[in-house]
Amino acid sequence: MLNISLKHYTNEALISELHILVFQERTLSLRVIAFLREVQCRSLHIEMGYVSLFTFCVEELKYSEGAAYYRINTMQIVEEMPEIKQAIETGELSMTTLSMVQSACKAKKKKTKIKVELKDKRELLEAVKGKSKKQTEAILHDHFPELRSSAKPESEKKLSDDLIGIFFNADPELMKKFKEIKDLTAHQNPSPSYQELFHMMSDFMLERIDPVRKAKRKAERQVKLKVHGKDQQRESEESKDKIQRKGESQLQPCEVESTVESTVEIPPPTPSHHCSAKTEQVIWTRAQSHCEHVDNKTGHRCSETRRLQLDHMIQYAVSYDSSEHNMQLLCTQHNLYRAKQWFGTPFMEQRMGRGSG
Ligand SMILES: [Zn+2]
């Protein structure tokens, strides 16, 4: 395609044809956005093992993160105001400026909890029509004074193969917390660098919140408890023997029985909706702390590592099985997707307080 020769075009014909192609490109972009919206409506991206439409655009469609972000923002704004399609086709509004407006409106809602009215958004779009990225930035800067900040954007920069420079903004409250942690751990390291401090805080947090570590600790505790129980039982049995031997000469049998009642018994595991700590550890290890949803058609597995939950493949009420063979680790999206498969979308939406409309 790129090897086609355009030498035979006159200058006028070349520019004219280029205008037509650019128009078609914009029309095609709108078509892509309409298709993305339909994928979202059908939750196809979830079924295919992607946790969000953004991940689907990046991993499945191979868009860059920026391109995916622009398209999703444009999709949302076109859905609210379908009349802007014409301005996109003519080039008066680009996906870049549309995305900037949508991002600013979202940021305002996040910061002030106030949604930008459709009327205001429409006026804003009129103001940025035909404007460059820089001009749009200036318009948004004036329009949303509440979003202005002296903070520099957070950034990560690879400095070498084993070193990454991180920049972030710290407020006085955070600096005070850092100082408190440094003071409280001064006996371990009197003057930690920020890297050492973050290592220490990360280790501390992971010990507390990492499900694999938690399950491992719990399983180890249960083993210790069993060993301790067996030790106590052995001690009791030895004590019982001792008393029995003594009782042969001094005590009646009924008195011996009443003396050995303190044996610690560990109840056997009973069938439960919840799996044991050992099983939990097996599942987290098997899943390598990733969502285990796999698209049956493509074999694509979800890559989500956040907010994972244990799920029964066949509902416990049906299977009575909480073993690792019937349990899987799912992200929130795929847990909800599975629940909708089991109980139906109307039921789940009603349960989540969304209603069916
Ligand atoms: Zn998932």
Per-residue pLDDT, 128:
96
Q: Among residues 194, 216, 210, which one has the least CA distance to residue 281?
A: 216
Per-residue pLDDT, 246:
55
The packing angle between helices 194-209 and 172-184, to 10°, is: 80
Ligand 1 centroid, distance to 278 Cα (angstroms) = 23
| Best mean pLDDT range from 93-102, 179-188, 236-245, 311-320 | 93-102
Ligand 1 centroid, distance to 292 Cα (angstroms) = 7
Ligand 1 centroid, distance to 59 Cα (angstroms) = 14
Ligand 1 centroid, distance to 40 Cα (angstroms) = 15
**Alpha carbon distance 34, 24 (integer Å):** 15
Ligand 1 centroid, distance to 354 Cα (angstroms) = 22
Token code pair at residue 184: 């409280």
Confidence of residue 311 (pLDDT cuts 50, 70, 90): very high
Q: pLDDT by residue (tens digit) across 119-168? A: 999 999 999 999 999 999 999 999 999 888 777 878 899 899 899 999 99
Q: pLDDT by residue (tens digit) across 187-226? A: 888 888 999 999 999 999 988 888 778 877 877 887 777 7
Ligand 1 centroid, distance to 332 Cα (angstroms) = 7
Token code pair at residue 323: 């073993």
Instruction: Average the pLDDT over each of 172-181, 241-250, 288-297 and give the range with the smallest value.
Output: 241-250
Give the environment of ion ligand 1: residues with CB less than 5 A: 51, 291, 293, 302, 304, 331, 334
Range 328-348 average pLDDT: 87
Ligand 1 centroid, distance to 312 Cα (angstroms) = 15
Ligand 1 centroid, distance to 307 Cα (angstroms) = 10
Per-residue pLDDT, 66:
93
**Higher model confidence: residue 249 or residue 167?**
167
DSSP-assigned letter for residue 113: S
Ligand 1 centroid, distance to 303 Cα (angstroms) = 7
Per-residue pLDDT, 239:
65
Instruction: Average the pLDDT over each of 102-106, 135-139, 337-341 and give the range with the smallest value.
Output: 337-341
Ligand 1 centroid, distance to 329 Cα (angstroms) = 9
The answer to whether 4 touches 12, Cβ cutoff 8 Å, is: no
Q: What percent of the chain has pLDDT above 90? A: 55
Confidence of residue 355 (pLDDT cuts 50, 70, 90): very low
Ligand 1 centroid, distance to 71 Cα (angstroms) = 22
Instruction: Average the pLDDT over each of 42-46, 47-51, 116-120, 353-357 and give the range with the smallest value.
Output: 353-357
Range 280-292 average pLDDT: 91
Ligand 1 centroid, distance to 291 Cα (angstroms) = 5
Ligand 1 centroid, distance to 298 Cα (angstroms) = 15
Ligand 1 centroid, distance to 271 Cα (angstroms) = 27
Question: What's the pTM value of the predicted model, to 2 decimals?
Answer: 0.67
Ligand 1 centroid, distance to 337 Cα (angstroms) = 9
The helix or strand, by DSSP H or E, that contains position 229, with its residue range, turns out to be: helix 211-247
The packing angle between helices 133-143 and 95-112, to 10°, is: 20
Task: Tell whether the model's pLDDT for residue 57 goes beyond 60.
Answer: yes
Per-residue pLDDT, 257:
39
Task: Tell whether the model's pLDDT for residue 356 goes beyond 70.
Answer: no
Tell me whether strands 155-160 and 163-167 are parallel, antiparallel or unpaired: antiparallel
Task: Tell whether the model's pLDDT for residue 247 goes beyond 80.
Answer: no
Ligand 1 centroid, distance to 48 Cα (angstroms) = 10
Residue 221, C-beta contacts closer than 8 angstroms, at least 6 positions apart: 277
Token code pair at residue 305: 């590592």
Look over the chain and give the mean of its residue pLDDT values, rounded to a whole number.
85
Confidence of residue 269 (pLDDT cuts 50, 70, 90): very low
Ligand 1 centroid, distance to 227 Cα (angstroms) = 38
Per-residue pLDDT, 215:
76
Per-residue pLDDT, 242:
62
Q: Which residue has the tokens 């030498």?
A: 7
